[in-house]
Amino acid sequence: MQRVSSPLVPEFSLSRIAFGLWRLTDWNYSPAERLSLFEQMLDLGVTTFDLADIYGDYRCEQTFGKALKLKPQLRERMEIVSKCSIRLAGEASGARINHYDTGAAHVRNAVETSLRDMGIEQMDLLLLHRPDPLMDADALAEVLEALVAEGKVKHLGVSNFLPHQFDLLQSRLSLPLAANQIEASLLHSLPMFDGQLNHCQQHKVIPMAWSPFAGGRLFSGSDEDAVRVQRELQRLTQARGLDAESGPMQLALAWLLKHPAQMIPVLGSGNPQRLESALAALEMELDREEWFELLRAGRGRDVD
C-alpha cells in the first residue's frame, strides 16, 4: 500500500486510503466481527482509521475500543485519527444546541474521553473537526501543545479549515499542523479552485478527503448533477472494460488520487469486498483528458 507523509513531520505517514468509521455503530457487527474487519483492512495495507468523538452519537469510539480490546496488539499496526470541536445537543454532550467548542477545557476533556473510550494511550493524529468562530488561537494552541507534550496526542491537524483559518492557528503553534481533512469529490471539486489544496501543497500539509463519493450521490443520486456524473463514469467504465459495478467507484477514487496534493480518500464502508475492490484505484492512472472529462461532468461545464 502506498503511503503519504509530509516533509514537515517525516516520521509520520498515513496509508493512501483511510478507513472511515463514522457508520461503525450502524453496521450491527459483533466485537469479533468488527475486529475481523479491522484485520482485513490492515492486511490490505489500510492502516489509517478515521474516527471522531461525535460519530455514532458519541458511541463509535467506544464500539471501536471494544473490538480493539479483543486483540490490543493490532494497535501497533494502526494510525488512529480522531476529531473534536463539534458538540451535538443532547444528553451525551450536555449541550443545549449544536455548536463548536475549541475552548481549552473542552478540547482536553474530549481527547481524554476519546482515549478512554478507545482504550488507547495516545492518538496518532488529532484533528479539530470544524473551525470555531469563537476560537481563541492562543489558548487553543497552548492546550494542543500540552496534549502532545503529555503523550496523549502524537500529531496535530485540522478539518474543514480554510487557508486563513489554518494559518491563524498555525501562527500560534510551535508544532506543525500535519493534515487538513476536507470535503472533496467529483461533485465537490471546490477545494481545487478555492485555495484549499493549493494551500496544502504550499505548506506540505497532508489533505484527507471526506465524502469522496458525495455521500453516495455519485452512484445513486437522482439530481441532475449526480446523473450527469454517473453517465460519465459509466461511459469511462465501458471504454476501459472495467467491471460495471466496481468500475465507477474506482474511477471516482482515481480522479481524486491523481491530484498532486496527494489526497487521502476516507472510505466508510463496512463491506470488506467493496473496500478491497476500491483499492484497485491505486493502480489506475487517468490521463489528463479523462480527468478533465470527469471534472466537466462534475461541474456541468467545460473549463474556460
Question: DSSP string of the chain?
Answer: --EEE-TTSTT-EEESSEEE-TTGGGS---HHHHHHHHHHHHHTT--EEE--TTHHHHTHHHHHHHHHTTSGGGGGG-EEEEEE-EE-BBTTTTBSS-EE---HHHHHHHHHHHHHHHT-S-EEEEEE-S--TT--HHHHHHHHHHHHHTTSEEEEEEES--HHHHHHHHHH-SSPEEEEEEE-BTTB-GGGTSSHHHHHHHHTPEEEEE-TTGGGHHHH--SHHHHHHHHHHHHHHHHHT--TTTHHHHHHHHHHHTSTT--EEEE--S-HHHHHHHGGGGG----HHHHHHHHHHHHTS---
Q: CA 17 to CA 14: how far, in whole Å?
A: 8
Let me know if residue 296 belongs to a domain. Answer: no
Q: CA 77 to CA 188: how far, in whole Å?
A: 32
Determine which one of 29, 55, 58, 100 is catalytic.
55
Tell me, what's the pLDDT at 1?
Answer: 83
Sequence-distant (6+) residues with CB within 8 A of 174 are: 145
How far, in Å, are 166, 168, 271, 276 from residue 279 at the CA level? 30, 36, 13, 5
Please give the mean pLDDT across all residues of the chain: 97
Let me know if residue 273 belongs to a domain. Answer: no
Per the DSSP assignment, residues forming a β-bridge with 86 are 100
C-alpha cell at 1: 500500500
Tell me, what's the pLDDT at 66?
Answer: 97
Let me know if residue 31 belongs to a domain. Answer: yes
Q: CA 295 to CA 229: how far, in whole Å?
A: 9
C-alpha cell at 143: 492546550
Residue 220's pLDDT band, with cuts at 50, 70 and 90, is very high
Cβ atoms of residues 102 and 85 within 8 Å: yes
Cβ atoms of residues 294 and 247 within 8 Å: no
Q: CA 240 to CA 41: how far, in whole Å?
A: 27
Cβ atoms of residues 302 and 296 within 8 Å: yes
Give the pLDDT mean for 29-54.
97
Using the predicted structure, report yes or no on whether residue 47 has a pLDDT greater than 90: yes
Let me know if residue 238 belongs to a domain. Answer: no
Let me know if residue 207 belongs to a domain. Answer: no
The burial of 39, by beta-carbon neighbours within 10 Å (0-12 exposed, 13-18 middle, 19 or more buried), is given as middle
Let me know if residue 241 belongs to a domain. Answer: no
Using the predicted structure, report yes or no on whether residue 93 has a pLDDT greater than 90: yes
Q: CA 283 to CA 257: how far, in whole Å?
A: 10
Tell me, what's the pLDDT at 6?
Answer: 87
Number of domains in the chain: 1
CATH number, position 94: 3.20.20.100
Residue 165's pLDDT band, with cuts at 50, 70 and 90, is very high
Let me know if residue 292 belongs to a domain. Answer: no
Let me know if residue 80 belongs to a domain. Answer: yes
Q: CA 101 to CA 112: how far, in whole Å?
A: 15
100 flagged as catalytic: no
Give the pLDDT mean for 195-217.
97
C-alpha cell at 18: 483511510
Tell me, what's the pLDDT at 204?
Answer: 96
Q: For the whole model, what pTM was predicted?
A: 0.97
Q: CA 253 to CA 213: how far, in whole Å?
A: 8
Q: Are strands 99-100 and 86-87 parallel, antiparallel or unpaired?
A: antiparallel
Residue 10's pLDDT band, with cuts at 50, 70 and 90, is confident
Domain extent, residue 122, equals 12-183
